[in-house]
Structure 1
Amino acid sequence: MITCRTVASSLVGEGRIRLDDPIERWLPGVVTGNGNDGRYVSVRQLLQHTSGLYDATGDLAAPRSADEFLAHRFDHYTEAQQVATAMRHAPLFVAGRTPTGTGSSCPEGRHDRLQSHGDGLGWRPGQHPHRPVPLLAGGRPRSAPAARTGG
């Protein structure tokens, strides 16, 4: 999440994108359907969590037992799957106009999901010319950790 913001800030500084550009300009056809329209959601709104886009994690079932948690704790949904899930829902509110008292509609991960579609920006993780922030360089786990052996 911070990595995406950092990269977006770098791209803005380089003049490659503008914060007020519509998402549709850079991710054509990604934010569409059920009232979602990337022409009316800006890069700024996406990064500030004021896009109104549905949070796909709302469709995930909560584990009902410890065994269910253990069985599914490393389930993985691709960014494309998460964006597709979000697009099956109407926006939560008009982009830029958050409901009173909430300030935002999404957890920190939504723009990470959309960044996976970011070929139009000419950026892919690990390919930006700027050095990564050391604490974030390792990324987040994508699968179950390797089994520990010994001691």
Structure 2
Amino acid sequence: MNHSGPAYWLLKSEPSAFSIDDLARSPHQTDHWDGVRNYQARNFMRDQMRVGDLAFFYHSNCKPPAIVGIVRIVRSGYPDHTAWDPDSPYFDPKSTSDHPRWYMVDVQLERKFSHPVTLPEMKVHPELAEFRLLKKGNRLSVMPVDPEHWHFILAFAEQAASSKETRQR
């Protein structure tokens, strides 16, 4: 991955578990992105995410699912301590501090979209036909986003927000 500028990512969370508003209420609007229990998603966080990278915050398993804002990676991958806590829903007895199986990153809120970009809205744009989130069978909670998809979605979010403001005047 070329790291001359930030890389782009998408991080999925069910808002009932951890929402963008939860992040906004966190100290310094920063928290760790824990509980990822998929090896491919873990590898992205452990091996490729870097401080300064940007990620869409995506609310999943809600109506409608949507990209609701942007976060910045403020700490690169480190062992996910929730795997060692028997009281955590993310406990994994095979993960130890000597041999961590799972990783997390720290994220900080950059901004919340005034108009979330919903899954149905994304699906109608041919420019997003190759966007990983829209691919059949893609269930990953952490995925890279191609720069052209990042910029298209960002422009769409800004246009939707400005047309919403115009309608409200």
TM (norm. structure 2) is: 0.19
Structure number, greater radius of gyration: 1
Larger strand fraction of residues: 2
TM (norm. structure 1) is: 0.20
Larger helix fraction of residues: 1
